Amino acid sequence: MASIASVTEAPARALTVLSEEESLFQSTVRRFAKEQIAPHVRQMDEAGVFRKEILQQFFELGLMGIEIPEEYGGQGGTFFQCLLAVEELSAVDPSAGVIVDVQNTIVNNAILRWANQDQKRRYLPRLAGDTVSSYALSEAGSGSDAFALATRAVDQGDHFLLTGRKLWITNAAEAGLFLLFANANPEAGHRGITAFLIERDFPGFQVGKKEDKLGIRASSTCELILDNCRVPRANVLGEVGKGYKVAIETLNEGRIAIGAQMIGLARGAFDHARAYVQQRKQFGKLIAEFQGVQFQLAVMATELEAARLLVYNACRLRDAGQPFVTEAAMAKYYASEIAEKVASKAIEIHGGVGVTKDYPVEKLFRDAKIGRIYEGTSNIQLVTIAKGLMK
């Protein structure tokens, strides 16, 4: 299959102005999602498993290493292109969007920023070529309070022994590499937290139970079990005790991508609703002719565009090296709220068939709920926004 860079189809229209290169990239991912993913969405949702051949296509198209430099086998693209990919995939299947999101905006991003040259040489070609990655921070007692980690790392000189249990870890079933956080000095509190690069076959490491979820069911969410897991010192990402910085800064950027996932989801729901009203007849005419329906679509489109502008603006600030944390929180908060609202309204526009699995809006409504929870709940985003306003 051709790489993303080699496809020459004319760019799809974007509501927000994009460069020619960005428009081409967007239209290519959009076409791929519609042609290669859409036919399998319902089956993957029901089975709760993402198809391996689509994952392989992600790698072949360069979607798993968008920002990774070409010297390591990546596309040498931009963070904004990562967002465009997540948005377009999520319009068809938010499970696909979050797989690409975690790979690019979380793990690849962290390695590009904090890894030493040896770590980059060892892992970036794999992440661009064939290895899915996962980000492991959350635990049973560590959710919104991200630094209340119970997982411990004991320094053994040339290696660490990690013991603990992680929960709700995205991509865990497929991942071969895990960016995992543990506390190497509990007495120091969050200043003992350390980031580790853990390979799936490291002794003492195990992927546990897979969660049976409400939405984004094709995206795996599993527990991780560490029983004296032996991790070489060479696999510490950054410095010992500086993992909190890796986690905070990575999540700040990852939240923009969750915003992209949510606006993609909302656009998918909106497009289904807009198509349906031009097919469904009541009282002798298409329901698209009723002003009440038109007004609902108008509000949905307006709120979706507002959410998109928030997401794109946060990304542009980040790429320009400007402060963006408050804007990222705004984008994630608002996009997740709008995704749930638009998906719900799309069901109502469909009427009774909207709640059946024969129509995709039912699935998108289920998928939307997680947006207000993972990578920082809506309340946590409001706290971040409020802090930014008080500075």
**Catalytic (active-site) positions:** 375
Residue 191, CB half-sphere, CA atoms under 13 Å: how many?
Answer: 2
Closest listed residue to residue 336, CA positions, set 221, 258, 268: 258
Cβ atoms 240, 96 nearer than 8 A: no
Which residues lie below 8 Å from residue 40, measured CB to CB, with a gap of 6+?
51, 54
Integer Cα distance of 217 and 41 in angstroms: 10
Measured over all CA atoms, what is the biggest interatomic distance in the chain, rounded to whole angstroms? 79
Which residues lie below 8 Å from residue 119, measured CB to CB, with a gap of 6+?
111, 197, 234, 235, 237
Integer Cα distance of 302 and 295 in angstroms: 11
326 conformational bin, left if phi > 0, alpha if psi -120 to 50, beta if neither? alpha
Q: Where are the alpha helices (DSSP H) in the chain?
A: 20-32, 41-47, 52-60, 79-92, 94-101, 109-114, 117-129, 243-277, 291-319, 325-350, 361-368, 378-390
Distances, alpha carbon 76 to alpha carbons 5, 68, 189, 313, in Å: 10, 5, 37, 22
Distances, alpha carbon 349 to alpha carbons 144, 218, 262, 324, in Å: 35, 26, 20, 36
Cβ atoms 150, 216 nearer than 8 A: no
